[in-house]
């Protein structure tokens, strides 16, 4: 019998920032996510539960991660922040239509 068997393992990483994602710390988050991508991660859950605020620099990091992840056959899920200001930013920018949103990291993980 002629068989071709291949195993596909896709790394999934959960990243849970616990502070604002703004112009001051967005480069650090971008570098950490890039390192994960370079290390083979393709699927990401960004748990924004404890993120009180996002600005345009933070949003740009999320979009960049989504694009790079999808380019490599992966995807990104976001967990809703509990802080109303951060939730409002996601809704106003319609990121909740661009990203698949979840209420918990566990729910996001099972969505892949």
Average pLDDT across the chain, whole number = 95
Q: What is the pLDDT of residues 61-92, one digit of tens each?
A: 999 999 999 999 999 999 999 999 999 999 99
Under DSSP, the state recorded for 101 is: E
pTM equals: 0.89
The pLDDT-based confidence of 105 (bands split at 50, 70, 90) is very high
Distant-in-sequence, close-in-space partners of 111: CB < 8 Å, separation ≥ 6: 77, 100, 102
- The pLDDT, as a whole number, for residue 10 is 80
- The pLDDT, as a whole number, for residue 33 is 98
- Domains parsed from the chain with CATH numbers: 11-110 (3.30.750.24)
- The pLDDT, as a whole number, for residue 94 is 97
Q: What is the C-alpha to C-alpha distance for residues 55 and 78, in angstroms, rounded to an integer?
A: 16
């Amino acid at each position: 019998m002629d068989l071709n068997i291949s195993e596909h393992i896709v790394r999934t990483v959960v990243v849970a920032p616990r502070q604002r994602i703004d112009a001051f710390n967005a480069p650090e988050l971008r570098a950490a996510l890039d390192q994960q991508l370079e290390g083979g991660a393709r699927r990401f859950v960004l748990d924004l539960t404890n993120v009180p605020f996002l600005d345009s620099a933070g949003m740009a990091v999320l979009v960049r991660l989504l694009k790079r992840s999808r380019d490599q056959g992966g995807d990104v899920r976001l967990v809703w922040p509990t802080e109303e200001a951060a939730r409002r930013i996601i809704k106003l920018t319609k990121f909740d239509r661009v990203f698949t949103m979840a209420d918990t990291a566990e729910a996001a993980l099972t969505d892949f």
